Amino acid sequence: MQPDLVIKKINLKTLITFFAFLFLFIMFFLIYSIFQIGIEEFSIFHRVRFIMINTVYLFFQNLIYLAAFLFATLFSLVIKDRDYLSASDNLVFSQMIQRSLILLFLLIGIYFIGSEFINPLLYNQLETGRKNAAISKILKQEGNHYFQKSDFELSRLYYEQYLNLMPQDVEVKDRLRQLRLKVRLMEDTEESYNNNFPVNTDYIELAGYYDQKGEYITAWYYYQYVVENDSVRRSFAIKRIEEIKNILAYRNSLKNNQEKMAWLNSTEQLIRNIHQLRVDADQYVQTKQYHEAYYTFSKIMKLDKNIKDAAIGYEKMHFQLKKIGVEMKNIVSSQVFSGKKDFVFYLDNKTMLYFADIKKILDIETVTQTYYVKDISIYFFDENKRIEKIVYAPYGQFKNNFMLTLYTLSLTDQEIEYLPLLKQCNKNDFDENVLAYLNKQDQMKLVEFYENDQNYYYLKSNVSKKDLMVVGKYFQKAKYNFFNQIPTMINQIDFVNLVFNQEGNTVENILNQNSILSNSEVNLLKSNYTMQKNGQYLLNHEIDEKTREKIWKIFQKSELNIFPHILNFNINIDLLYNFSYNYQKALNFPLNRLFSLRNLSGYQINNDLNEMDFSYGFNNNFIKTAIMDKISLIFIFFYMNIFFIAFSWRNKAHFQKNIPFLYQLFYPIILLFVFLIITGIKYYNTTFYSILSYSLDFWILLITCIVINLLLSIAAILYLSSTKIKNI
């Protein structure tokens, strides 16, 4: 047979084998993706999209195995002796592998384009799809739950957000259409009821409004409020209360006198209870105990739903609690999402944060990304790197990328309220800044939860979740400064009325008045807080640690609650989460993106918050390793397939006719061998550069990587060039 005909025949077999393997590879990943759908929870609307994206993603990610299986099979089994022996004297091996080399370079190009441009996008779509699937499931469940409870407004809200993610769900669309009609009817009814409702909070006017509507018990409450708080209009309110009593007595004229008096007395007691609850609620608001205020307003509304200012207070407290804390319901809901375990990073060289679990999810109400964290431990070190104290909280949430709240509460169960506490603390700090601000009884109860030696207090290991809530309350009562933070900005009312316990508009007005603070303490605050044009008092940032500690002591002494459970820091949690110790995710970043991150090597915050340095933020060696890995994989793709071409040909079985069936049974072993070789090389490559990244500069490491891979490529080429058609 002529050499040209032999080469054409071999080229045809090469192409047929290539397309056969390409088809089988795509089908394998398609079936694998379908199988994965059964493991991960996706709605029917997400499944087709997930299967398509995941199949393409896995294809590009594993293209090196396709090439290796292809060439190992082609040159060991597909090209038989009879295909070339008749013209072997006039052929060289390079002629036989021309088409294979073209395919190899084509596959390398496809692999590079896929890994640098396509797979990063597909990976993000897969992650987004997984999150959207989980979120849409929760949204639909919540919508169904509130629909069954006839809470149509909340049900409508959840269904609308669900349809933003799942616009194909016709069933929910129809239900939402019905809900909107019901909500509109309810709004029209409420609007007609409230057309004449007073827009201000003048209690005489409110009382008169309910008086005219015949809501006499509510009117009585508002008149009673005027009696207690307005000396000018007290006599009018008392007179009107007596008239309301007579009206109510007339309405109950069928009762005997004893029953009538008992009913009026119980009603009067109800009014006094509501009034006392309102006084308590106002006090809680003033001292920023929003959780207690929320439930106090809730109790008022249960006693009389018509008291609108209680409903307004209830909504305001709801807003404040959402602002400063995290709801337990959201913590529980977040558990269905995947996240990261054992997340560790440094805030600075003396402060380390540990999260046992952190999850990034979409906040259903704000429709923004947020982070929920679990089992938070914040380690503070002294100059000798010894642990000075450990602050612990069971749960937390990032309110923005630079603010973490460690306050967890429930809006349905008043007993659930988690606050940060000390897991370990040196004895002096604990005695002087915690116990000293508690009464004797509270001191005794708190120390029951701790073991102590001469130097430290340690939280007992058997403390239950319920006891953690109790312990946290003691630290709240002591106003302990967990993070050595003081308010950077205070509003004028708080600064004057609460800190100094006096009425007035400026600091100067109270200097000569009686105050709970001494003149030196007042002057210290005056010298470190500057009043702004908007009335806020702004902290002078250049203050030393001793001054900071003195100012905190003043806040402990005052009635001001400054939320010590909120931790502010200057590391963007988004950046940390996306690049912290997630090596697989790093490999899905394009090389140009990884190169831009290679110099993250020291923690400093410049005036521009976008300019960040991370020597304490996280160890960046994994980024350097990922860069070397991605570069090496291109070379590995080349030289390993060159090696497999030559090795498979040199060790092929020689049969003039078909390969015996017994030999064909060993074919899966060939593929397994190829798979293990490629996987082992990749693993060794990652380990090798990971070790070198600790000791070599980036550019030296990069040059080393390129030189080593060039040498291995040259060795593979020499091995291939020495291969002959007849190797036996």
- Tens of pLDDT, residue by residue over 637-682, are 999 999 999 999 988 866 656 667 677 778 899 899 999 999 999 9
pLDDT, one tens digit per residue, over 96-127 is: 899 999 999 999 999 999 998 999 889 888 87
* pLDDT over threshold 70, residue 83: yes
Of 167-176, 201-210, 259-268, highest mean pLDDT: 167-176
The pLDDT of residue 693 is: 83
Measured in whole angstroms, the distance separating CA 194 from the mean position of its chain's CA atoms is 41
Task: Please enumerate in sequence order all residues whose Cβ is within 8 A of that of 600, keeping only pairs 6 or more positions apart, or say none.
Answer: 579, 612, 613, 614, 617, 620, 623
Cβ–Cβ < 8 Å for 582, 342: no
Rounded to the nearest integer, the mean pLDDT of the chain is 80
| Strand-strand pairing, 489-490 and 450-452 | unpaired
The pLDDT of residue 604 is: 35
Least confident of 180-194, 528-542, 628-642: 180-194
* CA proximity to 68, closest of 646, 650, 669, 678: 678
Bridge partner residues of 362 (DSSP): 369
* pLDDT over threshold 90, residue 489: no
Ordered DSSP codes for 568-627: E-SS-HHHHHHHSS-HHHHHTS-HHHHHHTTT--S-EE-SSTT-EE-TTT--THHHHHHH
What is the arithmetic mean of pLDDT over 145-151? 83
* pLDDT over threshold 90, residue 278: no
What is the arithmetic mean of pLDDT over 4-30? 93
Bridge partner residues of 426 (DSSP): 456
Distance CA 558, CA 561 (A): 8
The pLDDT of residue 449 is: 95
Cβ–Cβ < 8 Å for 274, 258: no
Residue written as token pair 């804390």: 325
What is the three-class DSSP state of 335?
coil
The pLDDT of residue 209 is: 80
* CA proximity to 395, closest of 327, 495, 462, 453: 327
pLDDT, one tens digit per residue, over 156-167 is: 888 887 887 788
The pLDDT of residue 102 is: 96
Predicted TM-score of the model (pTM):
0.56
* CA proximity to 127, closest of 341, 335, 372, 360: 360
Distance CA 552, CA 564 (A): 11
More confident residue, 661 or 331: 331
Distance CA 148, CA 158 (A): 13
CA-derived radius of gyration, the chain: 37
Least confident of 349-363, 558-572, 595-609, 656-670: 595-609
Of 404-413, 509-518, 608-617, highest mean pLDDT: 404-413
Q: 541-556: b or e for each residue (b if 16 or more CB lie within 10 Å)?
A: eeeeeeebebbbbbbb
What is the arithmetic mean of pLDDT over 383-401? 89
Cβ–Cβ < 8 Å for 393, 482: no
* CA proximity to 472, closest of 540, 524, 416: 416
Amino acid identity at 466: K
Residue written as token pair 């293990």: 676
Confidence of residue 267 (pLDDT cuts 50, 70, 90): confident
Residue written as token pair 């073209």: 102
The pLDDT of residue 504 is: 38
* pLDDT over threshold 80, residue 542: no
- Compute the Cα dihedral for 499, 500, 506, 508 and give only its sign: negative
Measured in whole angstroms, the distance separating CA 220 from the mean position of its chain's CA atoms is 49
The pLDDT of residue 512 is: 37
Confidence of residue 133 (pLDDT cuts 50, 70, 90): confident
Confidence of residue 706 (pLDDT cuts 50, 70, 90): very high
Least confident of 287-291, 355-359, 513-517, 663-667: 513-517
What's the full length of the chain, in residues? 728
* pLDDT over threshold 60, residue 374: yes
The pLDDT of residue 679 is: 93
Q: 377-405: b or e for each residue (b if 16 or more CB lie within 10 Å)?
A: bbbbbeeeeeebbbbbbbbbbbbebeebb
Amino acid identity at 668: P
Confidence of residue 608 (pLDDT cuts 50, 70, 90): very low
Element (H, E) at 408: strand 408-409
* pLDDT over threshold 50, residue 363: yes
The pLDDT of residue 450 is: 95
Tokens in use for 48?
């087709």
Burial zone of 650 (CB within 10 Å; 0-12 exposed, 13-18 middle, 19+ buried): middle
Q: Give percent above pLDDT 90 in the chain.
A: 30
Least confident of 187-196, 305-314, 444-453: 187-196
Amino acid identity at 574: D
* pLDDT over threshold 50, residue 505: no
What is the three-class DSSP state of 2?
coil
* pLDDT over threshold 80, residue 508: no
What is the arithmetic mean of pLDDT over 589-608? 54
More confident residue, 481 or 418: 418
Q: Give percent above pLDDT 70 in the chain.
A: 80
The pLDDT of residue 31 is: 93
